[in-house]
Amino acid sequence: MEARKEKKPPFWKRPLTWVMTVLLGALAAVLGGALQNLFTTAGSKAVNEFSKERPPFTAVSEDDSCPAVWTHFPDKLQKAVMGKTEEEAFAILDKNGEADGRATELTVTLQGRTQSAVVITGVRVVMSRPPQPPPASVFGTGGCGAAVPTRSFAIDLDSKTPTATPVAPDIPSGPSPAVIDFPYKISATDPEVFHFSVQTSACDCTWYLEIEWNSNGKSGTYRLDNGGKPFRTLALKSDSWPMVGLYKGRDGRVTGLSRPSH
pLDDT over 70 at 32, yes or no: no
Global model pTM greater than 0.85: no
Bridge-based pairing of strands 152-156 and 192-199 is parallel
Q: What is the 3-state secondary structure (H, E, C) of 105-163?
A: EEEEEEEECCCCCEEEEEEEEEECCCCECCCCCCEECCCCCCCCCCCEEEEECCCCCCE
- Do residues 257 and 76 make contact, with C-beta atoms less than 8 angstroms apart? no
Look at residue 60 and give its three-state secondary structure.
strand
Categorize the per-residue pLDDT at 52 as very low, low, confident or very high, splitting at 50, 70 and 90: very low
* pLDDT for position 111: 96
- Give tens-digit pLDDT for 138-189: 898 876 655 666 789 999 999 999 999 999 877 665 566 677 899 999 999 9
pLDDT over 60 at 1, yes or no: no
- Give tens-digit pLDDT for 114-148: 999 999 999 999 999 999 999 888 898 876 655 66
- Which is higher by pLDDT, 37 or 136? 136
